[in-house]
Amino acid sequence: MCGIIAITTSSKANVSKMITTSLKKLEYRGYDSVGIATINNGKVEMLKDVGTIDKVNKRLSLENLQGTIGIGHTRWATHGAISRENAHPHSDCTGNIIVVHNGIIENYLELRNTLQENGHNFSSETDSEVIAHLMEEELKQFNQNLSMINAFKRVLTKIEGTYAITLIHSGEPDTIFLARKDSPLVIGVREDTKFAASDIPAFLEYTKKVIVLKNGEIATLTPQAVYIEKNGFRVQPKPVIISWTAESAQKSGYPHFMLKEIHEQPIALKNTLNTNPAEIMKASNKILEAERIIFLACGTSYHAGLTGYYQFQRILGKKPLYKVIASEYETYSHLIDEDTLIIAISQSGETLDVMKGLTPARKLGASIVSVVNVIDSSIPRYSHISLYTKAGPEIGVAATKTHTAQVALLARLALQVEHDIGLMSATEFTHIIEDLNTLTPQITRLIINQNEFKAKQLASKITNQNHAYFLARGYNMPIALEGALKLKEISYIHAEAFPAGESKHGPIAIVEPDFPVIMIAPNDWTAQKMLSNTEEMRARGAYIISVTEQDHRIIKRSDYSFILPEVTIPLLRPITHILPLQMLAYYTAVQRGFDPDKPKNLAKTVTVE
Ligand code: M6R
């Protein structure tokens, strides 16, 4: 949450223009307020305000600030209201030390009180501002006889919590100071310019050479050099060249990233399924060795984990499997030991709730296999085996292509286990993998093309509704849950998903004429029962929308149907059946006048508990 960018360059260019462009790429991480500070001829210049980057830039001309070093921030509020004062950057009392921060300083009240007793004046209610004052205090105490880096290190020993920090000081006007603990920070390297950002797309336009700062590392950037240290020892930076293109982080003619990302699913799935078999085999071994398996994730990734849970349940019979929402990890902590395997699923690889589960679990000897999209992020670095979804950067806050890629990768893993356990012959396995690899992108493309107009049309029907139900049964529940989450998070229509059989135990009470009920009704064992549940809803006047595979009984009983091709590989259903629901959510949000890329109160990467 919150987007950070810092740039120092020896070229003549003013960095404010680059910082503004980079902040636009980070806006998905927060958009409550925005600010930039530069150092120009030894003096700090700073502009910040409430609103999106475009609006604030128009009002204040952020990109006209002068200077070849600067930091910028787009905020997702945690401590303190959404106001100009609370917008980053923050400064010390002298205005010479400037800081931006992502994360939470847990002991900030204590620190703030002590600093205030020592005469410091605070301008904001944020936890972040204490960092600038602590730095000022350190330098003051040592009467400036302390190097900037040592003062910065002393500050870090005083703060508790999570952070990605970038700091500049007018007294050292070409250096950026960085530190990371549980909040992401990556460094971009170009010969005459160095970047630090919360995420790679921020500087992808300028460089593909990336160094991922690890937890506990402290760094300084000057235009010519990157210096990193950890626990007092120098760390040799290991830059990697990222294959993502700058275009992949742009809208490329689509009105929103979300729509672009929905359309990118065929290629994201093709790339993801083209995975390294050796890694899948290693993960399969871990699954077979484990005595119990926990699927751990949040939000949309949790729904992908649920599909894994149901798939592995079918294959692994009585082996105990658990599906755990990561923020609820403590409830399951008694299950963790060296015989436990955790399958952690995360798009960003940085979700703090997931990390907060993995950290104690690993200490207790559990094995960790992760399914992640962002390479080298915290979760894969904490895992024994990392499987990557190759969906490319996802900018829309609502996960789409990364979700189907997670489901595909888990399906691929499930097939491997089914083979390794002896439930599938080698020939059968080879054929099904071939089918999976070729059919998945094809069928996905077909469904998107055939249903986009229908989704748009249907959106105009439900756009004025306040509620919607998504019903399914058994292993189709993750589709209903994900469909409801998509609609709720971007269109703000209250949407709930529950097993269809449960509706008569309470939820049906609020169904009235025209109440939208979305039925996930594929051609499987659930079809007959879904039919009865449809009748119950119809009898109360509900507006029935079905997602079906040409089942005429359900189509006849529906007011509107997404009719999908018959799915020959059942493992694919959580992919095929979610596609119309992603598009329905998208078009409903747009028709209600909301920006689906930036849902209110949400951020793409959630690094707070
Ligand atoms: O980066 P992660 O996959 O760990 O993120 C988990 C959730 O925060 C995320 O899926 C969230 O629910 C999205 N807004 C869903 O669209």
**pLDDT, tens digit (0-9, with 9 covering 90-100), for 387-414:** 999 999 999 999 999 999 999 999 999 9
**pTM of the complete model:** 0.82
Amino acid 453 reads: F
Q: Which of 163-167, 271-275, 300-304, 372-376 has the lowest mean pLDDT?
A: 372-376
Give the whole-angstrom CA distance, residue 462 versus residue 507: 19
Pick the atom of ligand 1 nearest to 400's CA.
16
Burial class (CB in 10 A: 0-12, 13-18, 19+), 505: exposed
Q: How many Cβ atoms from other residues are within 10 Å of residue 330's Cβ?
A: 10
Q: Which two tokens stand for residue 158?
A: 């005083």
Known catalytic residue at 58 = no
The residue whose CA has the least distance to atom 8 of ligand 1 is: 299
Distance from Cα 207 to the centre of ligand 1, integer Å: 27
Given this model, what pLDDT does residue 141 score?
85
Q: What local confidence, expressed as pLDDT, does residue 488 receive? A: 98
For the cut 80, the answer to whether the pLDDT of residue 249 exceeds it is: no
In 3-state terms, what secondary structure has residue 392? Answer: coil
Q: List the domains of the chain with CATH numbers.
A: 2-249 (3.60.20.10), 251-424 (3.40.50.10490), 452-596 (3.40.50.10490)
**Percent with pLDDT over 90 in the chain:** 85
- Cα(374)–Cα(354) distance, integer angstroms: 15
**Ligand 1 pocket mutation pick from 1, 261, 300 by most atoms within 8 angstroms of CB:** 300
Q: Is the pLDDT of residue 471 over 70?
A: yes
| pLDDT at res. 376 | 78
Give the pLDDT band (50/70/90) at residue 201. Answer: confident
Please give all residues whose beta carbon lies within 6 A of any atom in ligand 1, as ranges: 298-301, 346-348, 351, 354, 397-399, 489, 602, 605-606
Give the pLDDT of residue 143: 72
Q: 347 C-alpha to center of ligand 1: Å?
A: 7
The one-letter code for the residue type at 604 is K
3-state SS class at 296? strand
The whole-number average pLDDT for the span 184-208 is: 94
Index of the ligand 1 atom closest to the CA of residue 402:
3
The greatest distance separating any two alpha carbons of the chain, rounded to the nearest whole angstrom, comes to: 82
574 φ, ψ (degrees, to nearest 5):
-65, -15
Q: Which of 18, 326, 375, 63 shows the shortest CA–CA distance to 196? A: 18
pLDDT: which is higher, 375 or 263: 263
- What pLDDT is recorded for position 593? 97
What is residue 30's predicted lDDT score, i.e. its pLDDT?
A: 78
pLDDT at residue 371 in the model:
98
Q: Which of these, 389, 385, 445, lies nearest to 412 by C-alpha position? A: 389
* pLDDT tens, position by position, 97-123: 999 999 889 999 999 999 999 999 999
Q: For 570, what's the count of Cα atoms within 13 Å in the CB-facing half-sphere?
A: 15
pLDDT band of 144, cuts 50, 70, 90: low
Ligand 1 mean position, distance from CA 303 (Å): 10
| Pair 515, 543: CB distance under 8 Å | yes
Active site residue 604: yes
- The protein residue with its alpha carbon nearest to ligand 1, atom 9, reads 299
How much of the chain is in helix, strand and coil states, percent to nearest 5? 45, 25, 35
Residue 377 has pLDDT above 90, yes or no: no
Predicted confidence (pLDDT) at residue 311 exceeds the cutoff of 90:
yes
Token pair 């993998």 is found at 433
- pLDDT exceeding 70 applies to what percent of the chain? 99
Q: Locate 307 and state its tokens.
A: 């599909």
Q: Is the distance from CB of 523 to CB of 577 less than 8 angstroms? A: no
Of the candidates 323, 401, 486, 604, the residue annotated as catalytic is: 604
